[in-house]
Copies of this chain bind each other. A is one copy, B any other.
Amino acid sequence: MSTDSITELVVDIAKRARRASLELAALSTETKNRFLLDLAQRLVNETDAIIQANAQDLNNAKESGLSLPMTERLTFTPERIQSMAEGVKQVAALPDPVGVEIERLSPPKGFDLRKIRVPMGVIGIIYESRPNVTIDCAILCLKSGNASILRGGKEAFHSNMKLAAIIQEALRANGIHEDAVQFIPTTDRAALTVLLKQDDTIHCIIPRGGESLIRFTVENSRIPVIKHYTGVCSIYVDASADADMAESILINSKCQRPSVCNSAENLIIHQDASAQLPRLAKALHDHGVELRVDTHAKALLNASGLPLVNATDADFATEYTDLIISIAVVPDIQAAIALINANSSGHTESIVTEDTSAAQRFLTEVDSAAVFHNASTRFSDGFEFGLGAEIGISTDRLHARGPMGLNELCTYKYVIHGTGEIR
């Protein structure tokens, strides 16, 4: 496609999404849920066709030498399609966020003033290989009354196009504006650049993918972006930490699922708790974790016989997403907080301590989206928080911070019911 025709295509998609969004905002909960349940059924019914489209992507993946983990994430099976359909049903069962009164205000003149939750309007989602994101994002946007424009990666193009077609059929069958969910039918980078300039019609961009995709989005977007950067999460073992609890929280945070953003990357330990370090290091090593240690930690662990790697400063700001941990020993809680605030990605941190005032200081002064006292960082998650579903975990501060559920896909409006008031 020529640049001109790509521009025309994307501008048209954005305008149509804006028009659809005005209808969607007034859509009944019943209609949205009927659509979702119908979509779930259609996904199951179309299992063979989805797998056939997916086979084209897998074939291309093979030819282009896509890595095994990437290929694995790209692959649909009947079980995965079934589970995707279950996810759609779960969203149907969640309460509708739209129209809810968030706050009743007390204006000095006494008129009736309420803050009501309403959809944002049009949301652009930019994502990479996993094709189930197409369904996840489309349904969360629709349930929250937003029109969505989906822009998936080239690896999953055929799978995405098939899923988008099924969504279109379900929209039409349920009398919803067919531009409510649109998929951009080209993987040309130019389409992305054009999309990011449509600030008259698109209200929010959510990039889901690697750091380079997010950085490209931020640098090229005129539309507000909600970023979901990496998770460089830390466990801080305070002077008064309970040793059993420290070990159990550390191992769970680091090892239960090291590839995800809420797993721990750093262990920071108060020097007065350094007697616990050999035990913690051994437990990590027994779980296959590589230990990258600062000089103080190294001195304390030299006698342990465990294999140690010297940590660099940069290690403490690195998301390994692997069985590796950076370990530092600090003189006091202030140094721990400073180390975290200097290196964290602002995602999730946890303090293990029996000292309530130390906990309170940590929870106040650590500047991250989620701060935990005596709990695993792995709980930083929309489902675990009870949000019902999540579109991601924001490392931004504006609008949404931490796990983003249906409420966070909405904005609000102020509604006055007056009786002729004038100033």
Q: Which A residues fall within an 8 A CB radius of B? A: 22, 25-26, 99, 105-109, 111, 113, 118, 120-121, 199, 203-204, 218-219, 222, 224-226, 242, 245, 248-249, 252-253, 256, 341, 359, 363-365, 367-376, 378-380, 383-386, 396-399, 401-403, 411-423
Bound complex: CA A380 to CA B415 (Å):
10
- Nearest Cβ distance between residue A374 and chain B, in whole angstroms? 4
- Nearest Cβ distance between residue A170 and chain B, in whole angstroms? 24
Residue of B nearest to A107 (CB): B386
Q: Contact between B105 and A374 (Cβ–Cβ < 8 Å)?
A: no
- Nearest Cβ distance between residue A39 and chain B, in whole angstroms? 25
Knowing A398-B120, A398-B399, A411-B398 are in contact, say whether A420-B368 is a contact too (CB < 8 A).
no
Q: Contact between A371 and B224 (Cβ–Cβ < 8 Å)?
A: no
- Nearest Cβ distance between residue A276 and chain B, in whole angstroms? 15
Q: Contact between A372 and B418 (Cβ–Cβ < 8 Å)?
A: yes
Q: Contact between B423 and A376 (Cβ–Cβ < 8 Å)?
A: yes
Which of B107, B225, B226, B397 makes the CB contact (< 8 A) with A384?
Answer: B107
Q: Contact between A367 and B416 (Cβ–Cβ < 8 Å)?
A: no
Q: Contact between A364 and B26 (Cβ–Cβ < 8 Å)?
A: yes
Residues of B near A363 (CB, < 8 A) are 415
Residues of B near A199 (CB, < 8 A) are 218
Knowing A108-B384, A421-B375 are in contact, say whether A367-B249 is a contact too (CB < 8 A).
no
Residues of B near A422 (CB, < 8 A) are 248-249, 252-253, 256, 375-376, 378
Residue of B nearest to A403 (CB): B414
Which of B108, B369, B414, B417 makes the CB contact (< 8 A) with A413?
Answer: B369
Which of B105, B121, B373 makes the CB contact (< 8 A) with A386?
Answer: B105
Identify which of A368, A370, A375, A412 gathers the most chain B CB atoms within 10 Å of its CB.
A375
Residues of B near A401 (CB, < 8 A) are 411-413
Which of B25, B224, B226, B413 makes the CB contact (< 8 A) with A396?
Answer: B224
- Nearest Cβ distance between residue A334 and chain B, in whole angstroms? 11
Which of B105, B249, B374, B386 makes the CB contact (< 8 A) with A385?
Answer: B105
Q: Contact between A25 and B367 (Cβ–Cβ < 8 Å)?
A: yes
Knowing A375-B416, A376-B421 are in contact, say whether A398-B398 is a contact too (CB < 8 A).
yes
List of 9 A-B pairs having minimum Cβ-Cβ separation, nearest first:
A375-B418, A252-B422, A399-B399, A398-B399, A397-B411, A374-B418, A372-B416, A370-B414, A245-B420
- Nearest Cβ distance between residue A210 and chain B, in whole angstroms? 18
Residues of B near A203 (CB, < 8 A) are 397-398
Q: Contact between B218 and A219 (Cβ–Cβ < 8 Å)?
A: no
Q: Contact between B218 and A384 (Cβ–Cβ < 8 Å)?
A: no
- Nearest Cβ distance between residue A314 and chain B, in whole angstroms? 15
A401-B412, A402-B414 provided; 5 other pairs, C-beta below 8 A? A108-B383, A199-B218, A370-B414, A375-B416, A378-B423
Q: Contact between A204 and B416 (Cβ–Cβ < 8 Å)?
A: no
